[in-house]
Amino acid sequence: MPRGPSLTAEAVCFFRAIETARPEADRVLDDPYAERFLPKSWRPWVRSPVARMVQMGFNGRLALGPGALQGFVALRHRWMDDALVSFLAGGGEQVVVLGAGYDSRALRFAAALDGRPFYEVDFPATQRKKQALIAERVPEAKSAAIYLPIDFERESLAEGLAKAHTFEPGRKTFFVWEGVAMYLHKEAIAQTLDTVRTLGATGSEIVCDMWSAPPGASFEARLRRAGAALLGTIGEPLKFSLQPDEAPAFFASHGFETAEVLDSEALAERYRLTRRKIFPDNCVVRAVV
């Protein structure tokens, strides 16, 4: 559990800023706020020759390098953006982002939201930092977000949402759980999914991504698991893994029907990013109540 604001939230925001800085024809995501949320010392790196080299040079060869991870982060965000837009177009009534970090959807999709409530739930320290950044760097923007500080390991999502007196259970709700589940214990995951199922009306959806720890004892599998374990050194160890083929049964055990599961390769094909190497050890899931 992070003690201060989440570093991984800043890292994925950095990856979105890098994607946004790519030429328009060659990017999957346009998040103009990502760069503005970054620590000042990180911002020159977004367009630096080193960042380009990491992306362009290593991408073609190294499926486990930073460029490949950056590609996955950009793809999952775009895929979730698209799912959100179709949910809203289909009559969705409210949105809840779990572990929101520097997610800028409340700003980017303000028009599509058209006044529908947008709740951001996050670890209190991360959320405080984000609110200060918005006030300082995007004062002109009107964020639709309603902020709810909560530590998923200590409080239930139901308790957290109850803090927002406007949140209405039983409505058609879109839950975003991006880059979070892998940092939680199995019990916290089960509790979150059970709460989502209980709070959302039939037809509510959750989109999330899962870390799929490479199985086996091969040198490469061990190397990839060791790489993932490095996140423990910044206080955000990976705790939960789910393979793509396990997803339907896992979500069914919590009362969801799995509408889509895409591994990294399928995600890259969806957005025609097949020329870039995409980090292989994650999948995305869209599950319906």
**Window of 119-127, 190-198, 212-220, 239-247 that interacts with ligand SAM by CB under 6 A:** 119-127
- Of 51 and 80, nearer to ligand SAM (C-beta) is 80
Binding status of residue 99 toward ligand SAM by CB under 6 A: yes
Report yes or no: 96 and 176 within 8 Å, Cβ to Cβ.
Answer: yes
Binding status of residue 152 toward ligand SAM by CB under 6 A: yes
- Of 126 and 143, nearer to ligand SAM (C-beta) is 126
Binding status of residue 180 toward ligand SAM by CB under 6 A: yes
User: Which of 27, 137, 153, 168 is the binder for ligand SAM (CB under 6 A)?
Assistant: 153
Binding status of residue 278 toward ligand SAM by CB under 6 A: no
CB of 192 to ligand SAM, least distance (A): 10
Give CA separation, 41 vs 35, 47, 147, 235, in Å: 11, 13, 27, 21
CB of 202 to ligand SAM, least distance (A): 26
* Subset of 212-251 contacting ligand SAM (CB under 6 A): none
**Residue (of 46, 11, 16, 36) closest to 28 by Cα position:** 16
Listed as own residue / partner, the contacts of 86-90 with beta carbons closer than 8 Å and 24 or more positions apart are: 87/174, 87/205, 88/112, 88/113, 88/116, 88/174
- Of 33 and 183, nearer to ligand SAM (C-beta) is 183
Residue 96 phi, psi dihedral angles, 5° rounding: -130, 125
Binding status of residue 174 toward ligand SAM by CB under 6 A: no
* Subset of 8-37 contacting ligand SAM (CB under 6 A): 8-9, 12-13
Which positions lie near ligand SAM, rule CB under 6 A? 1-2, 6, 8-9, 12-13, 99-103, 122-123, 126, 150-153, 178-180, 183
